[in-house]
Structure 1
Amino acid sequence: MTLNERHAELRNAEPKLRIRDAAARLGTTEAALVALDPGAISLRPDWAALIGAMPRVGQIMALTRNDHAVHERHGRFIDVSSGPGHILVLGPDIDLRLFPGRWAYGFALGGERPSIQIFDRDGEAVHKIFAVEATDRDAWAALVAEFAMPVIAAPPETVPSLIPPAEEGLVDATALRDDWRALRDTHDFVTLLRRHKATRRQALALGGDDLALRLAPDAASAALRAAAGVGLPVMIFVGNRSAIQIHTGPVQRLRPSPGGWFNVLDPAFNLHLRETGIAEAWRVVKPTDDGPVTSIELLDTAGSVIGQFFGARKPGQAELTGWRAIVDAVAGEHALLPA
């Protein structure tokens, strides 16, 4: 049977199965299945221009995910800019850090939920943009027509081999902690990791309890419940190798669902977090010129970041004392004792 026939058979048997899960079941890539859709329109890979054109269509829903977290945000694309290796969207609702170096395939899909879907060269979904009721459908159609192009190369049907976790060499823990304490901006943490040739997981393990305290996997959902209870605004980061999406604001409607999922189901923001996929959770403190910034960070079994949770803040602002108090309380109840 062809891939198309196998996919049709699976859809008939399980019509509610999501396409990412269907691809996993069929041993293929999500991009390959999307490309089989007879209504799929291939898009010109001028990524900065494509994202830069999104403000024209008005309201949309932006989706970024990894294996264990899905981040959905409603709003408009505004304040879009690009530079070498990056595209930024800095609106109050749609807040994105995009890294198109690995992007390879873009498709526009029609139907009940028109969408623009972007995939990397391995056929893995990077970022998706969905039309909603308030979307300017004429502007959407014009944008798709502007970027439409003939299919030049089909996405890969074969799933690439799993990338092994980064090797962890010897790290000078004292020097790492000294440099960590000297941080002046949260964004400098990645530079710190590179300087010491440390993985994030390794750095957190070596940081010491004052800088990185190991927590139970449900620490992030506990913090969100506490924040929702007092109406405290938060920042929630979810990303993959090529995109990071950020929600800033309160969370209100929190619900568990079968399969170990914890969900935020608010009108403008949805988060779906698979807590069974969390291998490690950490309370992380990063010094800055504005004072310490506290987060809860979640890692999967490979040491990749699933999600990061902060109190709402902007550069130049001190951390919300309410957020720090929430994380301190969660740490008191959810800290893991050394084995």
Structure 2
Amino acid sequence: MRRDFLKGIAVCLVAGATLATAGNAWAEDASAFYKGKVINWIVPYNPGGGYDEYSRAIAPYMEKYTGARVDIENMPGAGGMKGANEIFDAPADGLTVGIMNGSAMVTNQLSGIEGARYKIGEFSYLGRMVADLRVLVVGTSSPYKTFDDVVASKQPVLLGATGLGGSTYVDAVITGPAFGIDQKVVHGFNNSSDVRQAMLRGDIQGMWGSLGSAIQGVEDGEHVIVLQSPKKRSAQLPDVPSVFEKAAALPNAEAVMPVLDAWDALNAVGRPVAGPPGIPEDRLAFLRDAFQKAMTDPEFVKLMADTERDLDYASGADMEQIAKAATDLAPDVHDKIVAAIRGDI
């Protein structure tokens, strides 16, 4: 019996060594494949915005850990959808990846917006760079000083947004109806910077966006943050009410909360980096490992801190689960989200 037991252990050790050797061989094959190659990194917005800055900042570190050159290609259009389609439709050789506006791409798919050819659950995820803390800002020259002022407005509140289905649009059309705000969402701006310029001119009175993008405008005295997205107030904004604490006081809170919970799940998708479906397993594992190393590289982390850009890493495997949670909604919640996006509420 002891001989059989030892024989079994030997077989397991041999099998384990074989699997380890195979795994190392895959890693070596992928490393050899990428050495000297060019990775096309798609940014679905114009140069100069947050997605572009994140991409250009991490590109040298992806080059460091893949051995490939990373070329940034800006591909604006349709609120980020054009770039997402391009990533999804790219050859599955592991040489095309890109950053996406995850929450907007999820809502586009849920609502069946024309032109959304991708399936959010089928992307080959490398991981997530950040999950944005979303904020509602109003111009300092507007008549609104607090969120209560916005809710109580007797005139339509003019909010700016990028393309139909973009996150600045989705935030507005989901939260506004939840609070019964009389609002008009003016969409079609090229990027968030253009929306902020319109707010400075007085063409619009406010906008939703990421905290990272809003900070400079606050420091410059151009606008003020009146509402934030987390379920609990962020330590960065201790004096700004959260969507959820305001919603808890609504007379129809029980009906509103499931929709806001779904919106919160959309925000968790954040800004993922992904490639098309079907990237060979060894190459995807190699890219995921390189992305994780790049995201945690001390020089990169310091660079992001110095430029006041948040990081909130999630692995490629975790992103698969996050994407599933954001798209696997109860039918009634799904219908309400879709109705808000299509302007039916």
Q: Give the alignment's TM-score, normalised by structure 1.
A: 0.26
Of Structure 1 and Structure 2, which has the larger fraction of its residues in helix?
Answer: 2
Higher relative contact order (CA 8 A, sep 6+): 2
Q: Give the alignment's TM-score, normalised by structure 2.
A: 0.26
